[in-house]
Amino acid sequence: MNSVGIDISKGRSTVAVMRPFGEVVISPFEVRHTDSELSELARQLKSLDGETRVVMEATGNYHAPVAKLLHDAGLYVSVVNAKLVHVYGNNDLRRVKTDKKDAVKLANYGLDRWLTLPRYVPEEDTRLLLKNCYRQYRQYSKVQTVLKNNLISLSDSMTLTTSLDDALSDAETIIVSIGSQALRGLLGEIKPYEIKNQTFVLCMKGIETGTGRRLSEIAEENLDPSCRVAVWIGPGHVQEFYKGHPNCMVIDSKDEDVKRRLVAEFSSDLIRYYYGQDLLGNEIGAASKNVIGIAAGMLDGLGLSTLKGALMSRGTREIARLIKAMGGNELSAYGLCHLGDYEATVFSEYSHNRMFGEMLVKGEKYDQLAEGYYTADAMMVLADRYGVEIPICRAVYNILYKNADIREELSRLFTRSLKSEIE
């Protein structure tokens, strides 16, 4: 009996052939997903002495052409659920690829489950056609949504997937860009994959409500200790980059080597990257500028845009105080991640937070994500924890969460008791 384990990846697979008692029939080797190489693989497997069964994981659409060709060649093919293989043996089959070991483990899985391996049956052509039509319809719907949202579409060189298996399978660096309040939940979904020695780059700005935890802290708490965490923050909107408008951004991490590697790999003529020197301050600054952005939108909605200068000056000062109280460098508030991001947040037509504030004043519904809404709540946790006065953030919080009158709250903010400018 020959058990063939095939570890499927995009465009290629790794094959191993085992017999009982650990006998290696064919050492792991790589096969590309071309008709010629897959046909040669089928010929090679059929030439083996004894009964042969092929085992592979279900991996989105990647396994389908391999399974069908081998099936049509007359081989016994079994496509198994990845979760069943994941819990098999010593749990060392991880979706961050170690292809040769994974192929061997699949082969051993086949030997242990020899009599119960389900036989693969190709889907009928009509069913496949309907599934492809449905996928195309969903993609068309997404494009329509993109156009309505004034966003951009993905280039042909990028693959869009909703499968964590596919997204993590060949990843060299995992970039996370989601709503900040969903980060802990996403990391919970990733945890069963037992990812180790990987770099996670957090490309969003926020603070967790209720806890006041920074995003890098949440990642460190929920990832294997061998993983590295970095943040990618600073000014810029994807629409501007898409038009070829350059800007500057920051990469920061506790790991200096990771920081320098990412800057080297990400740098281009479009974006100039700086090495962050204060992870805490940069994260707090990047998140809190969204709250200032909401306040700016409120001023626009009230016809008080002339006060934006004062808003920017005083906003930077109160965030600097908070960063210092938390143990960071207060000068970070004056860097790219806070003050340097004001143009993209306080003035830009693409700023979700500014637009949210303006439409709130006008009584209009805004259905896009405005991170500042959640950050305003989280900032109160930090202000109370560290005993720091942050009046602008508190005013926004009172408006959003306590139904305070917008005009009265902002008027009170700008008519507070007299004080020195640098206080």
Task: Give CA torsion, residues 290, 294, 299, 300, to 10 deg.
Answer: 90
Instruction: Give the DSSP letter of residue 162.
Output: -
| Residue 47 banded pLDDT, cuts 50, 70, 90 | very high
Instruction: Kindly report which listed range (65-74, 100-109, 233-242, 342-351) carries the lowest average pLDDT score.
Output: 233-242
Handedness of CA 204, 207, 208, 209 (dihedral sign): negative
Instruction: Kindly report which listed range (37-41, 100-104, 296-300, 418-422) carries the lowest average pLDDT score.
Output: 418-422
| Residue 147 banded pLDDT, cuts 50, 70, 90 | low
State the catalytic residues. 289
Rounded distance between C-alpha atoms, residue 222 and residue 183, angstroms: 10
What pLDDT is stored for residue 127 in this prediction?
Answer: 62
Q: Measuring CA to CA, which residue among 49, 56, 43 is closest to residue 23?
A: 49
What pLDDT is stored for residue 83 in this prediction?
Answer: 77
Burial of residue 100, with CB atoms counted within 10 A of its CB: 0-12 exposed, 13-18 middle, 19 or more buried: middle
Q: Domains of the chain (ranges plus CATH)? A: 2-116 (3.30.420.40), 164-275 (3.40.50.720), 284-414 (1.10.1040.10)
pLDDT digits (tens, 9 = 90+) for 275-327: 999 999 999 999 999 999 999 999 999 999 999 999 999 999 999 999 999 99
Residue 154: which region, alpha, beta or left (left: phi > 0; alpha: psi -120 to 50)? beta
- Average pLDDT for residues 139-163, to the nearest whole number? 64
Task: Give the residue with greater pLDDT, 144 vs 233.
Answer: 233
What pLDDT is stored for residue 206 in this prediction?
Answer: 97
Task: Give the residue with greater pLDDT, 303 vs 138.
Answer: 303
What pLDDT is stored for residue 275 in this prediction?
Answer: 97
Handedness of CA 299, 303, 307, 308 (dihedral sign): positive
Most confident option among 89-93, 136-140, 174-178? 174-178
Angle subtended at Cα 239 by Cα 369 and Cα 355, rounded to the nearest 5 degrees: 40
Looking at the chain, the number of H-run helices and the number of E-run strands are: 17, 10
Which letter, b or e, does each residue of 127-151 get, where b requires 16 or more Cβ atoms within 10 Å of its Cβ? eeeeeeeeeeeeeeeeeeeeeeeee
What pLDDT is stored for residue 265 in this prediction?
Answer: 93
> What's the whole-model pTM score?
0.66
| Residue 94 banded pLDDT, cuts 50, 70, 90 | very low
Rounded distance between C-alpha atoms, residue 311 and residue 266, angstroms: 33
| Residue 95 banded pLDDT, cuts 50, 70, 90 | very low
CB 51 within 8 A of CB 74: no
